Amino acid sequence: MTTEELVRRLAGVVGAGNVYHRPADLMVYEYDGSVEGAVDTARPAAVALPKDTDEVARVVRIANEAGLPVTARGAGTGLSGGAVAQRGGVIIAMSRMDRVLEIDYVDRTALVQPGVVNLELSEFTTGSGYFFAPDPSSQKVSTIGGNVAENAGGPHCLKYGVTTNHILGLEVVLPDGTVTRTGALARGQSGYDLTGIIVGSEGMLGIATQILVRLTPIAERIQVSLAAFRSLDDASHAVGQIIAAGILPAALEMVDNLTIQAVEPVYHAGYPMDAAAVLLIELDGLVEDVEADAAEIDAICRRCGTYDIRAATSLAERELLWKGRKMALAAMGRLAPNYYLHDTVVPRSRLPQTLREVERITRGAGLRCAQVFHAGDGNLHPLMLFDRTEPGAVERVLSASHDIIHACVEAGGTLSGEHGIGTEKRNYLPFVYTGEDLAAMAGVKHAFDPRGMFNPEKVFPSGYRCGEVRAMHNQLRAQRLSQRYGIVPV
């Protein structure tokens, strides 16, 4: 199928104004929010913008007939290359599928299309006393479909869980163009948890076109406090002591001094400029419970060395404290023209030594590194500042990145808390998984997508991608038969 024929057929489904194919239009779809160098750019043959499930399915079938891979794309804010069409083909962009289809306050659910912006759902429901709990820092622009693909987290996931904990069912277009429903959107909910398999699968198994989400009641009382410390060690110890005391804040974030230097002059959030680190602590629940927990946290922070702890006294002050945290990445342009934001997880007990090790690695590479992250669940976001026009700067960042990942895994951690694997971290999977682990995961991909046409070249390192999986499984089967029965398959 020629490009002209492909474009003509796609236009017949979604309308001529909703198909992009000219080079100038395709340029903006070559990348996501990742750092070039860590993730390669790639240009699709065409981009289609459907408005509903039927159009998505028809576009997938056209791509199948043309022998082209398909990559689903939300807002393009991902940080691991998940929305980049690594092998070209057709990008299905979900920006037109942005409707809230149904709200059920009795069952506390919302049925939405994947293009609904995360924050806008909470704004839609907050007047009725509900919100959508997963809140990535990109929530003003990232879409729920993208959150589902990457299993996004956010500050409030410490208490409420990541995206998968709030997805009750999905309508999904499969790689052959058929449509299925899972979980609470299916007639029966017994059997395999297909919803759980698809959430976080980075668009490699299916494309979610309707999403049934759980709505969470807004608590009776919400309190946000700021605690300032003279060292990262003291702040880290306070995090561990708070959780060890049996207190589960709604959010427990850490912001270091370099981040404060970027944020405070712009947003005037109220972060003390002389603090080595501040903790942003949000409590929610019944009034009496919040007051009791706040008093205990105050005592813990003082024992751990805080020199200033205070609670927001108004909604405006509370929102300002959070604005400083949420806008930290946007403020980094004041300090350097480029940054590389990482995403790893370590046990809370290993925070102090891990932060020291990250500082040692980045300092050795000649890089400044800001720390602004979800301290309560150990989800680190080392943010390396650099200038990509400086010779060798990108190489130093990527080398430091490798060492940081290795250090976090050695500390008992894992590769990603919320950004996904994509192409950025696919070659690091052997750090934490055995060959048999990877073969089992690749087998799931093969079961959904035997031709390897949905978001190819993602997640799996070389040797475990589609086209290699069947041969691998045949080899493993032969080995097992030979070991058990002395049979050698023909």
* Tokens coding 31: 């990348």
In a domain, 455, yes or no: yes
In a domain, 340, yes or no: yes
Cα separation, 18 vs 217, in Å, equals: 38
Q: Are residues 459 and 474 in the same domain?
A: yes
Calculate the average pLDDT of the chain.
Answer: 94
Q: Count how many domains the chain has.
A: 5
More confident residue, 102 or 490: 102
- pTM (2 d.p.): 0.91
Last residue of a domain, one of 44, 67, 93: 93
CA 18 vs CA 7, 10, 58, 167, 342: distances in Å: 10, 9, 14, 29, 34
Q: Note the pLDDT of residue 490.
A: 46
Q: Note the pLDDT of residue 36.
A: 78
| Residue from 76, 74, 78, 77 nearest 92 by CA | 74
* Tokens coding 346: 């370590």
Cα separation, 474 vs 439, in Å, equals: 11
Say if residue 198's pLDDT is above 70: yes
Say if residue 484's pLDDT is above 80: no
- Which residue range forms the structural domain that includes residue 71? 3-93
Q: CB under 8 Å, gap of 24 or more: what pairs does 326-329 form?
A: 326/137, 326/139, 326/140, 327/263, 327/266, 327/267, 328/137, 328/255, 328/259, 328/262, 328/263, 328/370, 328/372, 329/137, 329/372, 329/383
In a domain, 359, yes or no: yes
Confidence of residue 37 (pLDDT cuts 50, 70, 90): confident
Residues β-bridged to residue 211: 112, 170
Interval 73-94: pLDDT, tens: 999 999 999 999 999 999 999 9
Residue 232 exposure: Cα atoms within 13 Å on the Cβ side: 21
Q: Are residues 414 and 450 in the same domain?
A: no
Q: Are residues 120 and 211 in the same domain?
A: yes
CA 119 vs CA 4, 116, 195, 275: distances in Å: 38, 9, 22, 30
Q: Are residues 161 and 239 in the same domain?
A: no
Q: Are residues 340 and 407 in the same domain?
A: yes
Q: Are residues 81 and 136 in the same domain?
A: no
Supply the CATH number for residue 397's domain: 3.30.70.2740
Supply the CATH number for residue 136's domain: 3.30.465.10
Q: Are residues 235 and 326 in the same domain?
A: yes
In a domain, 186, yes or no: yes
Interval 425-443: pLDDT, tens: 999 999 999 999 999 999 9
Q: Are residues 325 and 356 in the same domain?
A: no
Torsion of CA 102, 205, 147, 188, to 10 degrees: 40
In a domain, 438, yes or no: yes
In a domain, 447, yes or no: yes
Q: Are residues 165 and 113 in the same domain?
A: yes
Interval 142-160: pLDDT, tens: 999 999 999 999 999 999 9
Q: Are residues 84 and 138 in the same domain?
A: no
* Tokens coding 471: 């041969």
Interval 200-213: pLDDT, tens: 999 999 999 999 99
Q: Note the pLDDT of residue 35.
A: 82
Q: Are residues 19 and 59 in the same domain?
A: yes
Q: Are residues 129 and 160 in the same domain?
A: yes
In a domain, 490, yes or no: no
Supply the CATH number for residue 297's domain: 3.30.70.2190
Last residue of a domain, one of 384, 401, 424: 424
Last residue of a domain, one of 190, 217, 244: 217
In a domain, 402, yes or no: yes
Interval 251-293: pLDDT, tens: 999 999 999 999 999 999 999 999 999 999 999 999 999 999 9
**Residues ≥6 apart with Cβ < 8 Å to 24:** none
Q: Note the pLDDT of residue 188.
A: 67
State the burial class of residue 62 (Cβ atoms within 10 Å of its Cβ: 0-12, 13-18, 19+): buried
| Residue from 231, 229, 239 nearest 351 by CA | 239
Q: Note the pLDDT of residue 39.
A: 84
Q: Are 430 and 421 in contact (CB under 8 A)?
A: no
* Tokens coding 444: 């799931």
| Residue from 230, 258, 232, 264 nearest 367 by CA | 258
Residues β-bridged to residue 282: 224, 251
Interval 301-326: pLDDT, tens: 999 999 999 999 999 999 999 999 99
